[in-house]
Structure 1
Amino acid sequence: MAVHFFKNVKFSSVYHKYMLPASNEIVNMVLSYVKEKTDGRPLAMALDVGCGTGRYTLPLAPHFKKVVGIDISESQINVAKQNTSLDNVSYMVAAAEKLPMENNSVDLVNAALAAHWFTAETFTSEAARVLKTEGCLAVHAFYPYTVIEYKDLSHELNVVMSEVWDTLFQHKVQSLEHMFSQYHNIYEAILLKDKEWIRDIPVKIQMSIPELIGFIQSVVLYQVFVAKDSKRAEQLLIQAEKRLQKILGENADSVQLTVNLKYYCVFACKH
């Protein structure tokens, strides 16, 4: 199962450095949903499941008395701990299918770019167990594809990136289908009656070519490719970077590209 890549210390470092930062738009959507459902009452506990290196754990911290991030990867948790100094944030190694929380104890169960690795029925059942009355579940990720905008060079740039994604998709893992369906499986697995599914949320990110190439390295599909044929995987990135630089010309590495992504969220509230 491809999830084992996250337990690799070297990959955890690459993931922390290059995976996309937390989306402010998505964080704000999650917080707005929670505040609406809890009628503005003080929020005591958030549980960030599959937290990785803490990318979405930290933005929750100002809004909760305590935030706990869990992940099955000890190496990811170690990176998260090294990059966190907030007193109300802690991390532990634990599985999404066996949440280390008491019944009715959590205001928010959050899962960002992780739920496609979970056993959906078990995770959503566990989330319902640990949520307080009016507690909320928020599960979100982005569609595994990018569309680039830059002056009149967008088409040429996207031809290169489309070829990169097409190559990576040849090494797809089962979890990718859940991302393509925008978490339809998660929505269907939630037994809570108050739930909603929001798709095709546009998010724009500014990235340089080195950051874009790094992002590709942080995607599990690329790591699967590396495991199968490291030389071809490395050549894919080298050639892609050269082609992008040639299209952009001088000072290519200092150019900020607009990268368009589609996010999606599944929300639910326990009554």
Structure 2
Amino acid sequence: MVDRIFKKTAFSSVYQKYMIPVSNEIMKLVLCYVKEKTNGRPLEMAVDVGCGSGRYTLPLAPHFKKVLGIDHSESQINLAKQCNSAGNVSYMVAPAEKLPLEDASVDLVTAALAAHWFTVDKFTHEAVRVLKTRGCLALHATYPNTELEYKDLSHDLNVVMSEMWDTLLRYNDDRAHHLFSQYQTIYQAVPLNNKDWIRNIPANIQMSLPDIIGMIQSFYMYQLFREKDVKGAEQFLIQTEKRFREILGEEADSARLKVHVKHCCVLACKH
């Protein structure tokens, strides 16, 4: 069911516009790990699996000779191609469980906010197959919880956020257990001995109220809610925004709220 949502053109646009921004902390962590494990050799090829619209694909471009983004959703790939600003980045529609790449041909296989949707065992074995010796695997996501901070209103704002999550989690997908374990299950599935599991990586983002409402729409759980009950989902969104506005008062349109998110990351190296 979730796979179908990611293939919708309208959702691809919402996801591209409002999803939690790329984490510079995660990008730095991944790139430092790759450079350390590859002993400074020239980095030829990176593959971003489940790349979506290319949000985490493009930041790889300055560090590799070639970068390939792969996704099962044609609408996401079409959007990625439209947003492509790097000559060494290309995109293709393909499944994560059958990568269209030769054995031992890739320096980095990465998946950002995506590995939990794959058939994990098949994907991780495919990733190991295409990695060169000392090639790296990097899988990361955000923990499905967010907290808001704004002046002395943080508590009241987070009461609304908590209730928002309570509602959306009714439309949870079984595969999201990977997220709630902060990728422990995915770490355990990686068939490499040299691996690390890093949790609770903090990131703080400044967002306006419209950005936060857009972010809620970019969550797949909201989209599942909307598929089952369009009017109910729309009313839920309207009421959530109304409650935020009541708390923020006259500052609702001008406030820049600090959004606290936590990332988790699995890193591994093939020997």
Give the alignment's TM-score, normalised by structure 1: 0.99
Aligned to 1:228: 228
Aligned to 2:180: 180
Aligned to 1:198: 198
Aligned to 1:22: 22
Aligned to 1:74: 74
* One-letter identity of the residue aligned with 1:5: I
SS of the residue aligned with 1:267?
strand
Displacement after TM superposition at 1:85 (Å): 2.5
Aligned to 2:41: 41
Displacement after TM superposition at 1:251 (Å): 3.4
* One-letter identity of the residue aligned with 1:229: D
Kindly indicate whether residue 123 of structure 2 is the aligned counterpart of residue 123 of structure 1: yes
Aligned length: 271
Displacement after TM superposition at 1:76 (Å): 0.2
* One-letter identity of the residue aligned with 2:46: A
Aligned to 1:250: 250
CA distance in structure 2 between the aligned counterparts of 1:40 and 1:250, rounded to whole angstroms: 54
* One-letter identity of the residue aligned with 1:75: S
Q: CA RMSD in A?
A: 0.7
Q: Deviations over 1:44-77 (max 9, x none)?
A: 1000000000010001111000100000000000
Displacement after TM superposition at 1:21 (Å): 1.5
CA distance in structure 1 between the aligned counterparts of 2:86 and 2:104, rounded to whole angstroms: 25
Query: Which blocks of at least 5 consecutive residues in structure 2 are unaligned?
Result: none
CA distance in structure 2 between the aligned counterparts of 1:86 and 1:116, rounded to whole angstroms: 28
CA distance in structure 1 between the aligned counterparts of 2:259 and 2:88, rounded to whole angstroms: 33
Query: Which blocks of at least 5 consecutive residues in structure 1 are unaligned?
Result: none
Q: Is the 8 A contact 1:120 1:185 kept in 2?
A: no
Kindly indicate whether residue 267 of structure 2 is the aligned counterpart of residue 264 of structure 1: no
| Identity within the alignment, % | 67
Aligned to 2:65: 65
Aligned to 2:154: 154
Displacement after TM superposition at 1:243 (Å): 1.0
Displacement after TM superposition at 1:176 (Å): 1.6
Displacement after TM superposition at 1:270 (Å): 0.3
SS of the residue aligned with 2:102?
coil
* One-letter identity of the residue aligned with 2:253: D
Displacement after TM superposition at 1:242 (Å): 1.1
Aligned to 1:99: 99
Q: Deviations over 1:84-133 (max 9, x none)?
A: 12110000000110011100000000000000100111000000000000
Displacement after TM superposition at 1:9 (Å): 0.8
Displacement after TM superposition at 1:3 (Å): 1.5
Aligned to 2:8: 8
Q: Deviations over 1:18-42 (max 9, x none)?
A: 1112100000000010011011111
* One-letter identity of the residue aligned with 2:28: N
Displacement after TM superposition at 1:246 (Å): 1.4
CA distance in structure 1 between the aligned counterparts of 2:249 and 2:85, rounded to whole angstroms: 41
Displacement after TM superposition at 1:253 (Å): 2.1
CA distance in structure 2 between the aligned counterparts of 1:24 and 1:148, rounded to whole angstroms: 20
